Structure formats: structure tokens, C-alpha cells
Structure 1
Amino acid sequence: MTAVAATLNNPPLGIPEGELLFNQVRDVVRDKLAPLTVKIDEGYYPAEVLRALGETGAFCQHLASQNGRGEFDINSALKAMDIVSQECMSTGFMVWAQNVAAWYVEMSANDYLKRTLLPKLARGEVLGGTALSNPMKYLAGIEPLLLSAVETEDGYLLNGTLPWVSNLGPDHWFGSIFKVGGNQPRDVMAMVNTSWPGVTLKQLAKFCGMEGTGTYALSFKEVFVPKNHVLGDPLIPYIKKMKAGFVLMQTGMATGLVEGCIKLCEDVEPKLGHVNCYLDDRPDELREELEDARDLISSLGEDIFNKDAEFMRTVLEARLLGSELSLRAANSAMLHTGASGYLHDAPAQRKLREAYFVAIVTPATKHLRKEIDAMAAL
């Protein structure tokens, strides 16, 4: 048995959990992330921070095969992401991307990837993104699928472009959905590496926020994808299995952002409370709503494989709640901190930009409302 296979079958003992894990994540945030937050906001990709978080066990909590406990602990993964996002939601977003890249493999029936790739993703030894923005919109009837492939005897030749994929760099992994033509036309999902021949990464735009997230446009020209890298074929049963986790794990970004905004409001209370009392969405009001949202999210995380349509609808509603609460909390932080929050490197203005990202990243607010409305009509 190889060392990788042994890791899969017998995950290393002593992986932190509970408060030990969360305290180690807080240490990484304080010592490694916080000094880089402004630099990240301006475009620095913090690979060393992500690897340090991987060493704490932050990326393996939701993976029953990797956390040493044999259970899908979504809620611990969410709390770790929450802690990171309180300081820097760009990094919190990359934690989500890393978690989801590993989730793709965990939810598949691909033993090869579970032996060779999953342990490395779970420990942050290799990094990866999601690449499902376009496919999720495609599955919701919003836009066409942008990647196509021709099937060969032992793989697929992939062509097309994707506008934005995050948490990428040299030798990073991502999940890709493409339309296969030929005698058996169908949609297939597979893991792809950025360093494979024919894959080109380009930074074609400068965003107003989230610049340090390793976001690239991807071009594929006759990229060979081996069949032993397939995650879902047929696609739809696989998507149904992994979708709730994919969506719910985004709420960790939102709860952490809201917590960070509340703390900014609380920090200025001694100086500005006498006038901030006239503002809406006061910190105590936001905290009550945040704790209610956390309770809802936690209950969903404990039942992540519930196949009931109403459960998936509630997951989408929880994700939408995260977007809406993020926008309100960030707006409140700007108003509570006043002119000091409007400075170039002020946390409040950064969190406002981050909050808009929560609301527009796939599934965006309009996407969520479309899916919820369609489910309500059934």
C-alpha cells in the first residue's frame, strides 16, 4: 500500500478539531493573515497563508475520509471559514474554494483521485478552485455552457473559455463541467490542472475588490483530460449529491464578514455611540440576526445529504440571507465608522466591497431568487 493510499484509508491521527482547531486558525489569522490583509486587498495572493491554514486542518473538517473522525463535519469547516473571513473575506473566499475543490472529489466515486489528490487538497499541500460559476448558471437556465469536449478512448479533448475562476495559480486544480459531443452527447465534470498543456491563465480585468484571490480567465485548447479524473458522469446525480454542501459552505464567508462589520461598529461606540444611536442596523440588532442565521446554517449543516426539495430550498434561502445580511452589515459599518471608514486602507470600506462580492458571486442574489422562485412554483 502506498503512503497516499494509507492516508486515505487511515487518516493521520491528531488532526485538530473543535476549539483546538479554531484557536489554531485564529493564530494563523493573527500572525500570518492580518499583516497581509491590505496587501491581499491590493492584489497579493497569500498562498503561504492558505498552506498554513491547511496545516491546522481547516480544509479537511468537512471530509469524512480525511478528518480522522469519519464524519462530514460541515459546521467546523464553516466556523474556520468564518474566523478567517472576519479579518479578510478574500482569504475566506479562497478557503471556501479550497474546501469545495476537495468536496468535489469526496462526493465522487473516483477512487483514483481520492487516493492521489484528495489528501493533498485536504492538507493544503496543493491548492485549487471551483470553476463552476458558468456551469451553475447553465444548470439554472441563465447562460450556455462555455466548455465542450470530444471524447477519445482514454479521455476528452477540452476546448473553450471561462471568464473568471478563483484560487488559481501554477499547478492548481479545479473542477470543470463540459459538454461532450459525438454518439453519446452529455455533460461531464472532471478535475483539471492549470499546468496541463493547452490551459492558459490570463488576468484580463482589475476588480474593485477581491484582487488577491488568484482570479483568472481560463482558455482551453485541445486540453487532454484523462478519464481517471472524471468526477461526475452522468452529471446530474453527482450535482444533486454535492450541491447543498457547495452552496451552504459559502455562508461561512458571509457570517464572518458580518461578524467583522459588527466589531467595527462596536469599536467606535465609546467615541460615537451618542450619535450613532440614530442609525439603523445597530450592532446589537445585527448580532441578534447573525446568531439566528448561524443557528439556521448549523442545523442545515448537520443534515447536508437531505434529499428533500424543501431542504435544498432552505439552503438556497440561507445563502440568500447571507448576502442580504452582509450588505446591511457592511453598509452599517461604513455609516457607524464615518469618515475614518472611508480612508483608502480602512477595514470598513474594504468590507463594503467584500459584501457586494458575497451578493454577486455565483450563486448571486438574482440567481438564488430565480432558483427559489422556480422551486416554489413546483
Structure 2
Amino acid sequence: MQESLRGDLDHADKTGPDGLYSAIDDLVRDELRPLTVRIDREGVYPEAVLRGLGQAGAYRQHLPAVAGGAAAGLPGAIRAMARVSQECLSTGFAVWCQDTCAWYLQNAVNDEVREAWIEPLASGTTLGGTGMSNTMKAFAGIEAMRLKGRRVADGYIVNGSLPWVSNLGRGHVFGTQFSLDGELRSVMALVDCDVEGFSLRQAAHFTALEGTRTYACFFEDVFIPDSMVIDHDGAGFLRRSRAGIVLLQLGMGLGIIQSCIDLCREVEPLLGHVNQYLDDRPDLLREELDDASEAAMVLAEDPGEADDDYFCEILRLRLAVSELSLRAAQSAMLHTGARGYLDSAPAQRKLREAYFVAIVTPAIKHLRKELAERGQ
């Protein structure tokens, strides 16, 4: 890995499990990097890499239920994700999906679903996604809940559709919420992609993040048993887990910013004499990344249910990292010049990936709406 990868993003790695970050670096170098261009251009899904990351322990850092005394906490999960995202954001996003699905189970009130599924997700034996974009937008007053459920014996019958859910496939699971007919209540549940009545359809192709197995999800009288319910109080669950959901996304942004700084520095010997006239030079970006990384590690120390002031700090940092990602990616394109337009060039891929950091829920506009409504 590049020298910068051993800088601020892992300055506290010595507190993590022995060998974890070294193992991630090896996987990224030996297995992910040879696939990165194909992931971007052909939509290759890096399943072997994702399972390897699970075997290395990348997905259990933030899960006290299965991590034991070796956990580095949420800061460790963010660092691990940043190392992957620095090479390939499609894979980094899939890591976020996996981490977040397991985080739902960590915060489950139902012991049965947690005990059955959290270890397979933490180990990468089962791969999982998160279908909470619609839920988070609904709670923010941006759109209506797309999934509707009704209570039946021993569970719920659910109908509706979700347009885009990632890191899915046969044998995968994901967490989502559905509203209840005639009630002002939603339910948080884990959905098995193999359950009867559920189907996946590839409804779109994307200019970036194509290797993430993103599908439209359709529910046609899908039975969700009580054993798969994470929390019968969806609003209470979101309050309890929201800090971790948003904090984990910082790993994607921090990783892509670092990679853009690296690209700017790589061309300094050849183009530094003229690049010195550009804005957002690598040293400036480095200072801002240091500040964002430090803030992320502090906020991630205790991501449990928190008051609005703490959550507003998280939203502000998430917004700042989105904006810095866009600036860093534009800087990488301008610093590398025409060579950045090559179809295999990292700079043009980073530019497209940075826009994803800015639009994935909560998007920049969503974050600004939430902060404005909180008087921030």
C-alpha cells in the first residue's frame, strides 16, 4: 500500500487486533487492486474480496456481541473501510453495507435474530445489505415509506418495493423497515433474499458503483416471521442506531480523499511547476483530512443512542466529508490533467466515486435539510 495509507488513517492501529490492518492491506494489494478497473467498467462483484475481509476480521470491529476483547470499536471499522475505499469505492461501499447490516443486529432488541445472524455477517460467511435509504428519507419527511406490512400470526405480511438496495444476491440478507397498515408505527426486520415472494431485479446501470450488486427489491406477500424482526418499534430502533449508521459512512469518504491526495502527489515531479497554481493543493487537503479523521475517531468512540446535539455534530462532519470528497476528486482531475481522462485512469473514477459519497443517503441536500430543521 502507499505510504500515506499508513498515516493518519491508522495512527491508532496499534490498538486494534494484531494483524488486521496488515491483512486488509494484503487483500487490497493482491486481490482487489487487480480487479479495480474491471469492477468499475464491467460491474464485477468482488465477492471473494468481501468474504476475505470477513475472514480477516474487518466486519466485527464495531460489534461487541461477537468481537470479544479484540475489538477496535467503531473507529476500527471506519479505518478498515477507509483502507478498502482508498483503492475502490465500490468495494468500500459493499463493506459499509456489510458493516451496517451487522450493526442493525448489534442494536436488535430481539435476541433470536441477533444470535442467528450476527456471527455469519461478522465473518463474511453471509453477505448483507442495508435497505434503509427509504426509511431514513421517510423519517426526514422527504418521501413516503415504500413497504407496507400487516400483522398476522407469528409475523407480518409485507408488500411493496425498494428501488435500489446494494450488496445483495442469492443467500444474502438485508435490514429494512416497513410501515403498518392503520398504525403510526414501523417495524425493523432482517430480510432473507431467498424468502418466498421476494425477488431482485436489476433495474438500472450506473456510471459508478456498478460492481455493488444493486437491485430493485420486490415484496409480494412476503412473510416476515417474528424471529426475523429486529425491533417492533422502528422509530426507536433508528434513534438507537442512527449515529453508527452515519458514522460508518465516513470510512468511504476518508478513503477516497486520501486516494485523491495520493494522485495529486504522484504527478508532482512532472507537473508540480504548473500545478502550484491550482487550488486545493495536496498539503491543504491533507490538513483538512487530518482534521476530519481526528473528529471521526472522537465522535465514533461512543455511537449509542445519543442526544440531538451529538447527532448534529455527526451530521455536520458527514456533510464536511462529502464536500471535501468532491473538492479532493476535482483537485485530482485538475492535477493529473489530460491523463486523468483515460478510461482506466484513477482520477476520473475518483471523480465519479466522490459524487456517490455526496448523494448516498443521507445526501448533501438531506444533511443540510436535517441540520436546518435542527436550527444548525
CA distance in 1, matches of 2:76, 2:233: 31
| Residues 352-374 of structure 1: CA deviation (Å, up to 9, x unaligned) | 00000000000000000000111
Name 1:6's counterpart in structure 2: none
The letter of the residue matching 1:113 is V
CA distance in 2, matches of 1:147, 1:195: 18
Query: Which has a greater percent of helix?
Result: 2
CA distance in 1, matches of 2:73, 2:51: 20
CA contact (8 A) 1:63 1:72 kept: no
Find out whether 1:127 has 2:140 as its counterpart. Answer: no
The letter of the residue matching 1:83 is R
SS at match of 1:94: helix
CA distance in 1, matches of 2:184, 2:285: 49
Name 2:4's counterpart in structure 1: none
Q: By how many angstroms is 1:204 displaced?
A: 1.1
CA distance in 2, matches of 1:70, 1:314: 28
Name 1:371's counterpart in structure 2: 370
Name 2:239's counterpart in structure 1: 240
CA distance in 2, matches of 1:22, 1:72: 11
Equivalence map 1:196-211=2 (5 Å): 196-211=195-210
CA RMSD of superposed structures (Å): 1.3
CA distance in 2, matches of 1:71, 1:339: 44
Q: By how many angstroms is 1:310 displaced?
A: 0.7
SS at match of 1:69: helix
SS at match of 2:162: strand
Q: By how many angstroms is 1:17 displaced?
A: 3.1
Name 2:191's counterpart in structure 1: 192
Q: By how many angstroms is 1:110 displaced?
A: 1.5
CA contact (8 A) 2:101 2:174 kept: yes
CA distance in 2, matches of 1:145, 1:288: 41
CA distance in 2, matches of 1:361, 1:19: 33
CA contact (8 A) 2:16 2:71 kept: no
Runs of 5+ unmatched residues, structure 2: 1-14
Q: Give the structure-2-normalised TM-score.
A: 0.94
Equivalence map 1:108-127=2 (5 Å): 108-127=108-127
| Residues 277-334 of structure 1: CA deviation (Å, up to 9, x unaligned) | 0000000000000000001111101121262211000001111111000000000000
Question: Against the structure 1 CA distance between its residues 201 and 306, is the aligned structure 2 distance closer, same or farther, given a 3 Å change threshold?
Answer: closer
Name 1:293's counterpart in structure 2: 292
Name 2:157's counterpart in structure 1: 157
Identity across matched positions, percent: 52
CA distance in 1, matches of 2:120, 2:367: 32
The letter of the residue matching 1:328 is R
Tell me the matched-pair count: 361
CA distance in 1, matches of 2:71, 2:208: 36
Q: By how many angstroms is 1:228 displaced?
A: 1.2
Greater CA drift, 51-60 or 233-242: 233-242
CA distance in 2, matches of 1:308, 1:143: 24
Runs of 5+ unmatched residues, structure 1: 1-15
Name 1:226's counterpart in structure 2: 225
Equivalence map 1:244-323=2 (5 Å): 244-305=243-304, 307-323=306-322
Q: Give the structure-1-normalised TM-score.
A: 0.93
SS at match of 1:65: helix
The letter of the residue matching 1:166 is S
CA contact (8 A) 2:17 2:71 kept: no
CA distance in 2, matches of 1:347, 1:191: 36
Q: By how many angstroms is 1:19 displaced?
A: 6.0
